């Protein structure tokens, strides 16, 4: 497949396409200029010129019809193709009224096209408006990011870091959360907040999640083997949880992907847990419920991530096949100083208990929080206190030598005096 983010160099006079051609992309002009032309009675009528900062060829993509006019380079130019999928993905998410306006505008323009006079050729092109300039800059930044993510996938620049999840009452290692990192050759280690939102906007998240699932199949057998070295301090039901988005549930055959990965790696489905944030879950609860039900039926655990921040409707919560609630760290950090946050945590713990799911406190940074949460009956904890997200070799070493005593969420018993 052609990489549509690669620049195209078009020499002056070269024809990019003719009217009637079927197009699969629009183009941003990075430098140089192009002419839009129609052939009439053997003559060429130039309808307009476009220069740097402008887009052309978008109409045939927006209304999925043949090119309305031809394009040739008026001067040497560099073009950045914007693929059909890149536009359609955004169009699908646009406001339907705006989409209707756009379709109407294009239909009117197509109707008027035969009447356009050759005198148009003399018209000077208007410089782009300031808003068009801002849109151009934003479009260019998004396309550059998309290109970089596609390249990152092709060049294996992603890695899964692992953060321990601990049984608070015993200090035993219960699992890990897999968190993606990008080793960008130019920027170094990039955190997910810097690229996951863009990957969601462009739809590339589906390919990234497919990579995550594949990578879990590769690394999880090693993690489970390492855990066998410390049977007293690591739970036999050790799991790895990973993050998915609403798009993954809606658009890809995720249960199928996971099933194939489990088949290849020989892992038990119970060793895997999906995490989906509360806010994405509430975007389309019915759609998510169907996909999650399939995953749950296959044996996977289902966790609601960042719980307490996404306005869950409790009626939806009770119909979703969830097994775990992860309490957002926004409530954990201020919990010791703020009675209100402490009460919220207590309420979520009671809710988890009522609906029969496991609670995990996220963002535990100190022993005092771990102890308070243990006393409140929270089952599992995760946070810098127990360990930051770490590369695979470090996680394997931690699992093989896990020190449960160090991480019990209760203060150590006072040493018994020798002569009592």
Per CB under 6 A, the list member of 23, 70, 203, 363 interacting with ligand C2E is 363
Of 235, 275, 278, 369, the one binding ligand C2E (CB under 6 A) is 275
Asked if residues 362 and 311 have their Cβ atoms less than 8 Å apart, the reply is no
Confirm if 373 and 410 have CB atoms less than 8 A apart.
no
Residues 6+ apart with CB under 8 A from 49: 33, 34, 35, 36, 74, 125
Q: Judged by CB under 6 A, does residue 226 bind ligand C2E?
A: no
Q: Is 369 in the site for ligand C2E (CB under 6 A)?
A: no
Distance CA 240, CA 164 (A): 9
Angle between helices 392-400 and 205-227 in degrees, nearest 10: 30
Select 63 or 214, whichever has its Cβ closest to ligand C2E: 214
Decide whether 69 or 196 has the Cβ nearer to ligand C2E: 196
305 contributes a contact to ligand C2E by CB under 6 A: yes
Task: State both tokens at 170.
Answer: 């015993």
> Contacting ligand C2E (CB under 6 A), which of 374, 389, 396, 409?
389
* Residue 334 in the binding site for ligand C2E (CB under 6 A): no
Q: Is 188 in the site for ligand C2E (CB under 6 A)?
A: no
Binding mask 141-180 for ligand C2E (x = CB under 6 A): ----------------------x---------------xx
Identity of the residue, 226 or 240, whose beta carbon is nearer to ligand C2E in the bound complex? 240
Q: Tell me if 400 sits within 8 A of 226, measured CB to CB.
A: yes
Spatial distance between the Cα atoms of 200 and 161, rounded to a whole number of angstroms: 20
User: Of 60 and 244, which has the nearer Cβ to Mg ion?
Assistant: 244
Which alpha helices (DSSP H) does 178-309 contain, by range?
196-202, 205-227, 246-251, 254-265, 278-281, 285-297
Q: What is the rounded CA–CA span in Å between residue 209 and residue 213?
A: 6
Stretch that binds ligand C2E, among 4-12, 68-76, 137-145, 241-249 (CB under 6 A): 241-249
| Cβ 196 to ligand C2E shortest distance, Å | 5
279 touches 310 (CB < 8 A):
yes
Closer residue to ligand C2E in complex, CB, 118/192: 192
Backbone φ and ψ of 163, nearest 5°: -120, 130
Place of tokens 């713990």: 349
| Cα 34 to Cα 31: distance, rounded to the nearest angstrom | 10
In the complex, which residues of this chain contact Mg ion (CB under 5 A)? 243, 275, 305-306, 362
Q: Got the DSSP string for 115-132?
A: G--GGGGGPPPPPPPHHH
Determine, following the binding rule CB under 6 A, whether residue 245 of this chain makes contact with ligand C2E.
yes
Question: Exactly one of 110, 138, 368, 384 binds ligand C2E (CB under 6 A); which one?
Answer: 384
Binding site for ligand C2E (CB under 6 A): 163, 179-180, 191-193, 196, 205, 212, 242-245, 275, 277, 305-306, 329, 362-365, 382-384, 389
């Amino acid at each position: 497949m052609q990489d549509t983010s690669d620049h195209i160099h078009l020499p002056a006079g070269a024809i990019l396409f003719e009217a009637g051609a079927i197009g699969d992309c629009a183009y941003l002009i990075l430098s140089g200029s192009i002419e839009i032309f129609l052939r009439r009675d053997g003559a060429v009528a130039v309808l307009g010129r476009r220069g740097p900062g402008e887009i052309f060829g978008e109409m045939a993509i927006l209304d999925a019809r043949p090119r309305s006019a031809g394009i040739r380079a008026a001067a040497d130019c560099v073009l950045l193709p914007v693929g059909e999928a890149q536009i359609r993905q955004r169009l699908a998410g646009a406001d339907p009224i705006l989409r209707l306006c756009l379709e109407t505008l294009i239909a009117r323009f197509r109707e008027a096209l035969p009447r356009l006079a050759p005198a148009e050729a003399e018209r000077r092109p208007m410089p782009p408006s300031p808003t068009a300039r801002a849109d151009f800059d934003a479009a260019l930044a998004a396309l550059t990011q998309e290109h970089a993510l596609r390249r990152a996938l092709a060049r294996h620049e992603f890695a899964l870091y692992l953060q321990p999840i601990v049984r608070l009452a015993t200090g035993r290692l219960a699992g890990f959360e897999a968190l993606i990192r990008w080793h960008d050759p130019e920027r170094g280690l990039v955190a997910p907040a810097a690229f996951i939102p863009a990957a969601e906007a462009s739809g590339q998240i589906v390919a990234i999640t497919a990579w995550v699932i594949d990578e879990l199949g590769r690394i999880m057998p090693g993690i489970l083997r390492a855990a066998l070295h410390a049977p007293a301090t690591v739970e036999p039901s050790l799991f790895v949880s990973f993050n998915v988005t609403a798009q993954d549930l809606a658009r890809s055959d995720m249960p199928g992907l996971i099933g194939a990965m489990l088949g290849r790696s020989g892992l038990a489905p119970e060793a895997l847990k999906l995490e989906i944030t509360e806010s994405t879950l509430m975007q389309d609860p019915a759609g998510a419920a169907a996909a999650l039900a399939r995953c749950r039926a296959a044996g996977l655990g289902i966790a609601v991530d960042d719980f307490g921040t996404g306005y869950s409707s409790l009626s939806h919560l009770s119909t979703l096949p969830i097994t775990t609630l992860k309490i957002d760290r926004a409530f954990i950090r201020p919990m010791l100083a703020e009675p209100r946050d402490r009460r919220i945590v207590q309420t979520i713990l009671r809710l988890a208990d009522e609906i029969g799911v496991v609670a995990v406190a996220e963002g535990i940074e100190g022993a005092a929080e771990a102890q308070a949460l243990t006393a409140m009956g929270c089952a599992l904890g995760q946070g810098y206190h127990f360990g930051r997200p770490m590369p695979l070799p470090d996680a394997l070493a931690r699992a093989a030598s896990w020190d449960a005593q160090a991480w019990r969420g209760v203060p150590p018993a006072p040493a018994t005096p020798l002569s009592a």
